[in-house]
Amino acid sequence: MTQKGPTMPIPKLDDRRALREALRQLRTLTDAVSAHLAALNQTMQGPATEARGQAIARLANALDLANDVALRYGLGLSLPAIARRKQAARRERRGVSP
């Protein structure tokens, strides 16, 4: 049985262009995480209202999209591979083993 992995070959360390792109994607993701956490923290300071719940949902969706972009273009994962990772993460949250 073969192991499924990234759809793009993992770049050699001397491939500076690929390394710079991977670092750029990582930087973009960490910037998005930091910005969304700050916005989430600020949103959580407000009163518990339906509008606050909607704002939190929008922040979660935007963060999920930033993660998808990093997985797709930073790590080179295929869309089915990303879906499998998300499904595995949902199973872990529910405490279900694969």
Please report which helix (H) or strand (E) contains residue 85, including its range.
Answer: helix 79-94
Model-wide pTM > 0.75: no
Tens of pLDDT along 52-69?
A: 889 988 988 888 888 888
Q: For all residues of the chain together, what is the average pLDDT? A: 80
Tens of pLDDT along 41-55?
A: 888 888 899 998 899
pLDDT at 5 > cutoff 60:
no
Q: Tell me whether residue 78 is exposed, middle or buried, using C-beta atoms within 10 angstroms of its C-beta: 0 to 12, 13 to 18, 19 or more.
A: middle
88/96 Cα distance (integer angstroms) = 9
Q: Which residue has the higher pLDDT, 9 or 69?
A: 69
pLDDT tier for residue 2 given thresholds of 50, 70 and 90 = very low
Whole-number percent of the chain with pLDDT over 70? 83
